């Protein structure tokens, strides 16, 4: 575990997707909910493909039913991240799962998670910020509710808005209202694109939703004019190589385009997406990238700086994290 202690910045992590399978199994047992179908014989999450993954994800998430459950989840996730050297993390949060889109309920979930984040910052030295995501396959109407929750709770902790879910459903422009609402409220923007959709999905996320970061975006590599445009405009890609390999988008780590994108001038960063689902963590991402592309400390330091530059937190927080990158330990 050579890279475990290396200080890391992670920008793309779905909170429920970071729930260890044992944590979800324990919660299911406490609540007497039968979700055995989402696990394999070894107790790991089991799914066939991306769409099935999203279904399994939602069944697993269904046992998280209260602000206290989300507080426990946040604690477990931050402990794991800190163990892997993460000092700053942005996580996707969905009011659809936390209170069913009701703003008052959402506020209760949020304050429970934020309280744990404050404790973890003092105890484990990890800083957390939240990006509210709407869920593409829940449709544009429900996305408006998520955007309104985001606009209502924008602040030091909730700093961004984005879209996750099934890239095969609908088009970015269907979610224009939500993104405009979030932008007007002062939230920074990111969108999942260019994972299951091709280069055109990245173009649409940029032109229609006017996001500054792209979740994944790796299939931009199929259109070099787009790659050059991303480089020129300084668009940041939240790459999650382990996730892409686990879901079969690329057959191996060596086949992942992150190195080609970086070599052509695109700002790339590294995250885990949904670590226990994809049998990864930030240490493994670094280990595999070092093995596949010969990346060394200076390469990882560069992508970490890129990630911090692209973080959605305020400048004071950034300066604080930057100091810790300069003098690790």
The partner in contact with residue 287, picked from ligand HPA, Zn ion, none with C-beta cut-offs of 5 to 8 angstroms by kind, is none
Applying CB under 5 A, which part among 1-9, 53-61, 97-105, 273-281 lies near Zn ion?
273-281
- Residue 70 sits at φ, ψ, to 5 deg, of -70, -30
322 is catalytic: no
How many angstroms separate the CA atoms of 52 and 101, rounded? 24
Residue 170: how many CA atoms within 13 Å on its side-chain side? 20
Number of residues that bind Zn ion (CB under 5 A): 1
**What stretches of 259-314 adopt beta strand conformation (E)?**
267-270
Backbone angles phi, psi at 95, to 5 degrees: -55, -20
Is 167 near Zn ion (CB under 5 A)?
no
Site string for ligand HPA, 55-94 (x = CB under 6 A): --x-------------------------------------
Among 77, 57, 48, 47, smallest CA distance to 135 is for 57
Is 17 a binder of ligand HPA (CB under 6 A)?
yes
Which of the following is catalytic: 195, 238, 285, 288?
Answer: 195
Report residue 139: phi and psi, to 5°. Answer: 90, 165
Q: Minimal distance in Å, beta carbon 14 to Zn ion?
A: 6
Nearer to ligand HPA, 106 or 277 (CB): 277
Name, in order, each residue with C-beta under 8 angstroms of 73's C-beta and a sequence gap of 6 or more.
15, 16, 19, 23, 64
- Choosing from 69, 96, 167, 273, the residue that interacts with Zn ion (CB under 5 A) is 273
Which backbone phi and psi does 313 adopt, to 5 degrees? -80, 170
Chain residues 149-188 in contact with ligand HPA, contact rule CB under 6 A: 164-165
14 binds ligand HPA (CB under 6 A): yes
The site for ligand HPA (CB under 6 A) is made up of 14, 17, 57, 164-165, 192, 273-274
Supply the residues annotated as catalytic: 195
């Amino acid at each position: 575990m050579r890279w475990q202690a290396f200080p890391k910045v992670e920008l793309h992590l779905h909170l429920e997707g970071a729930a260890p399978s044992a944590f979800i199994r324990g919660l299911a047992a406490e609540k007497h909910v039968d979700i055995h179908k989402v696990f394999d014989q070894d107790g790991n999450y089991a799914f066939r493909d991306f769409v099935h993954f999203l279904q399994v994800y939602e069944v697993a998430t269904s046992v998280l039913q209260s602000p206290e459950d989300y507080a426990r989840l946040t604690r477990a996730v931050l402990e794991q991240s800190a163990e892997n050297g993460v000092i700053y993390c942005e996580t996707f949060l969905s009011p659809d799962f936390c209170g069913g889109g009701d703003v008052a309920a959402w506020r209760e979930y949020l304050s429970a998670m934020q309280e744990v984040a404050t404790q973890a910052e003092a105890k484990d030295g990890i800083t957390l910020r939240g990006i509210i995501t709407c869920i593409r396959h829940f449709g544009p109407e429900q996305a408006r509710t998520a955007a309104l929750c985001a606009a209502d709770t924008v602040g030091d902790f909730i700093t961004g808005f984005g879209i996750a879910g099934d890239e095969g459903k609908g088009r970015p422009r269907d979610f224009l209202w939500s993104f405009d609402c979030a932008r007007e409220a002062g939230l920074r923007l990111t969108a999942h694109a260019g994972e299951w959709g091709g280069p055109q999905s990245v173009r649409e996320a940029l032109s229609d939703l006017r996001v500054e970061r792209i979740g994944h975006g790796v299939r931009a590599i199929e259109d070099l004019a787009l790659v050059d445009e991303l480089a020129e405009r300084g668009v940041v890609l939240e790459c999650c190589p382990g996730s892409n390999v686990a879901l079969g988008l690329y057959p191996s780590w060596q086949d992942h385009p992150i190195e080609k994108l970086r070599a052509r001038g695109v700002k790339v960063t590294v995250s885990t997406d949904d670590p226990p689902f994809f049998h990864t963590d930030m240490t493994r991402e670094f280990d595999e990238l070092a093995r596949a592309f010969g990346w060394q400390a200076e390469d990882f330091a560069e992508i970490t700086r890129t990630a911090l530059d692209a973080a959605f937190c305020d400048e004071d927080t950034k300066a604080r994290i930057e100091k810790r990158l300069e003098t690790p330990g």
